[in-house]
Structure 1
Amino acid sequence: MNKLHKKLLLLRSKLLVFLTHNMALPVLRFIRKPKIFPYSDKELQLFSNGTLGKDLIVFLEKRKIKLLPHYAKHDIKHILLQYDTTDDGEVCLQCFMLGNGHISFPVAATVFYGMVTMPEHWSKFKTAYYRGKKCIPIAGWKWFEILHQPTQLLIDKINTDAKS
């Protein structure tokens, strides 16, 4: 990989972070007025091992990501859908949500951005989209109410309770 290619990948990544964290997130908080995440970092540490709440704080700490009260639901989806917080992981998560029937501006914008700027990951995006189509709808889940449940049980539910 040459220097220019590395610089372009870094720029692409920074642009994705800027568009999601600095543009979309503040606008969505203003428009949607989402529920504030009900737990602090310290409270999540007290959850039992293997629960979604405990796995959330471990996930964030491992990646050196700060718990953002208006973004916790998104981070929970990363855990349950098993897409990392890489650029292609972010787009895969949104492709899954699109396939799963959750159509919103952030989903559409992220999928569009990924399709335009990340052609090397198109096959992953397609796989994520079709995975979302075959799984049960998760957009209506009560994200903050399932934090005490075993993470693996929830992952298995998503992966095995596919629509017929």
Structure 2
Amino acid sequence: MIKLLKNLRSQLLVLLTHTFALPVLKIVRRKKAFPYSMEQLSALPFDTVGNEVWQLLNENNLRLLPYYERHDIKHVVLGYPFTDEGEVCLQFFMLANGRVSFPVLATVLYGLVTMPEYYASFRKAYARGKEAGDLSQLDWFGIMPELLMDVRKQYHVNKIV
């Protein structure tokens, strides 16, 4: 029964983000186009942010989603996996780092209401976000050719413990 509930919870999270949030983001966000294709990301040197994004997407059989690439880059830089826990931890990190937006608040609230087993992870993610440097002015697309280790060091993004 618990496994069924967790599966339903995962499906609901995907439905809310991919079916409802992505179309709204396409309308609301008038961001510049992501300047890389999957092929270009794969050609970047090993251990760069861009190559790590390519590896993460490739390993999870995912493709670049228009208007959502920045989110995938955050997964790489912050080190959170593409799991329910990882999605909510990423948003707790961003909230603590000063990012207050509807998607962040909605995901944090969703995690608090439906994922009590991950509260310890959420607290750690929040603490990491507080400790990290200010990411609000980071050029997420501009860091693609940079070494991931250097970006994490520059912005004080500590390892997940």
| TM-score bucket (shorter structure) | over 0.9
Task: Give the distance between the partners of 1:6 and 1:63, measured in 2 at CA.
Answer: 21
Q: Does 1:80 align with 2:49?
A: no
Find 1:30's aligned residue among 4, 27, 31: 27
2:17 corresponding residue in structure 1 = 20
**Which residues of structure 1 form unaligned runs of 5+?**
none
TM-score normalised per structure 1 = 0.92
Shift of 1:34: 2.0
Sequence identity, in percent? 46
1:152 and 2:144 equivalent?
no
Tell me the distance in 2 between the aligned counterparts of 1:22 and 1:149.
32
TM superposition shift of 1:50: 1.4
23-32 or 111-120, which moves further after superposition? 23-32
Partners of 2:136 and 2:81 in 1: CA distance: 19
- Find the counterpart in structure 1 of residue 130 from structure 2: 133
Aligned counterparts of 1:102 and 1:33: Cα–Cα separation in 2: 18
**RMSD over aligned Cα atoms:** 1.3
Distance 1:142 1:160 in 2: 16
CA distance in 2, matches of 1:46, 1:114: 36
CA distance in 2, matches of 1:37, 1:95: 25
5+ residue gaps in structure 2? none
Specify which of 63, 68, 72 is matched with residue 65 of structure 2.
68
Q: How far, CA to CA, are the matches of 2:157 and 2:3 in structure 1?
A: 39
Q: In structure 2, give the amino acid aligned to 1:46.
A: A
Contact 2:50 2:145 in 1 (8 A): yes
* Matching residue within 7, 17, 21 for 2:4: 7
Q: Which runs of 4+ in 1 moved over 2 A?
A: 156-161
Q: How many Å separate the matches in 1 of 2:116 and 2:100?
A: 22
Matched with 2:121 is: 124
Alpha-carbon deviation of 1:160? 6.0
- Give the match for residue 46 of structure 2: 49
Q: Which residue of 96, 99, 104 corresponds with 1:99?
A: 96
